[in-house]
Amino acid sequence: MYLSHLSLTNYRSYEQAELDLKPGPNILVGANGVGKTNVAEAINYLAVQHSHRVSNDHPLVRIGHEQALARGRVHRGEQAISIEYEINPGKSNRVAINRGAPQPARQAYGIFKAVMFAPEDIELVSGQPDIRRRFMDDLIVQMRPALGDARRDFDRVLRQRNALLKSGRKPGAWTEEHETTLGVWNEHLSRAAARLINGRLHALRLLAIPTANTYAQLSNGNKPAGFSYQSTVPLASGQHAEVPDEAQLYQAVLTELESSYRAERDRGITLVGPHRDDMVITLGPAPAKGFASHGETWSLALALRLASYRVLVEDDPDPNAKPVLILDDVFAELDAARRSRLAEMTRDAEQLIITAAVAADIPAELTGTHIPVQMRDGISSPGEHHTDLATLKVLEANNFEDAEGSESPSERGDDD
């Protein structure tokens, strides 16, 4: 699988951008702040339908505009499919497939698959549980697009159940009607939660070995990496040689909701479900969060992303189904030996998107299409393709000089 063309309209720093891409390595080189990460983010958006940097779509739309467009031409073997997302902050996003009528964005799940590693991914190890939940859910939805519906159903029922619990907190406000409605929401929540948890546990079981192996390769195998699932539902917690089926998990969630009845009424919030679960990452005998060094944390986060790429490859044995692999500014953090190892580990990707501030950060083992990214009059633009590394270095010295220090507003996340 690869992307042959990316088109952006009013997306972050781009008023309009047209970018041709090829199979193999595509290396975007430019000074900090010119918009390389915006391109990488947009490519990943075509797969997961959200940004890796912000929690909502508002910062994705260029200032002064109400809508952004992200279009891609996707190739899978001999098949070519066009997808065009309308990004409408505060409203429902839509997608047009093969220039058809716009429809709900969820209809495009699974058409394009991508795995992206970015500097922000260090938060996978050191950040809050919601970051790891998103990591798990993005993976399971790419593996099984129908789980996107389960995630959406769960979120909808959770909001309605919480609203019910809050409405009954005042003395005397809880009625028999509240009780009956809560029972209905318990059943709906349990079914959606069971599907989500089951999907996560299957994905984590598949991730375990490639994560451990990849981390060992990146870190010389000093400490073994692992993880377990921490859940508000005891049946789901731990490491599972056999994953509980959805029927078992449904009953387990329902039982926990009934046990938490009094506490939830008192607090007016749902205390049981996948929205409160976590993936606990370990390094040796200790949890990585709070104990791992910066270098170990970086290697762990990278190992998780590369392992998720391997899981997606193994999940669909069609050689034309390999996800696009995106490495945003990763080589600058690695020494020469690790750069070479990473290049070797990613050489089988059908398409590799790499961003770097300088060409010198790219290991010699990676040769491919080099794309200079510049900023002219405050608008980012990809330049012409260059395959000669020596020529690229001249471009850096001459054409990128005016881009030094050009930063988009940090509060919008438009920086490189």
Question: What is the tens place of the pLDDT at every residue in 98-116?
Answer: 999 999 999 999 999 999 9
pTM of the model: 0.86
Annotated binding site: 30-37
C-alpha triplet 189, 194, 195: angle, nearest 5° = 105
Instruction: Report whether CATH 1.20.1050.90 matches the domain 117-322.
Output: yes
Pair type for strands 278-283 and 225-230? antiparallel
User: 48-93, pLDDT tens digit by residue?
Assistant: 999 999 989 999 999 999 999 999 999 999 999 999 999 999 999 9
The CATH number for 1-113+345-410, chosen from 3.30.360.10, 3.20.20.70, 3.40.50.300, 3.90.420.10, is 3.40.50.300
Q: Say how far apart CA 123 and CA 1 lie, in whole Å.
A: 28
Annotated binding site for ATP: 30-37
User: 227-283, pLDDT tens digit by residue?
Assistant: 999 999 999 999 888 999 999 999 999 999 999 999 999 999 999 999 999 999 999
Domain coordinates in residue numbering, the chain: 1-113+345-410, 117-322
Digit-by-digit pLDDT tens for the chain (416 residues) are: 999 999 999 999 899 999 999 999 999 988 888 889 999 999 999 999 999 999 899 999 999 999 999 999 999 999 999 999 999 999 999 999 999 999 999 999 999 999 999 999 999 999 999 999 999 999 999 999 999 999 999 999 999 999 999 999 888 899 999 999 999 999 999 999 999 999 999 999 999 999 999 999 998 767 899 999 999 999 999 988 899 999 999 999 999 999 999 999 999 999 999 999 999 999 999 999 999 999 899 999 999 999 999 999 999 988 889 999 999 999 988 888 888 899 999 988 999 999 998 888 888 888 767 777 765 544 556 664 443 333 333 333 333 333 333 333 333 344 44
Taking alpha carbons only, the member of 119, 238, 123, 255 closest to residue 187 is 255
The percent of residues above 70 in pLDDT, for the chain, comes to 89
Place of tokens 């990591």: 135
Q: Say how far apart CA 55 and CA 75 lie, in whole Å.
A: 29
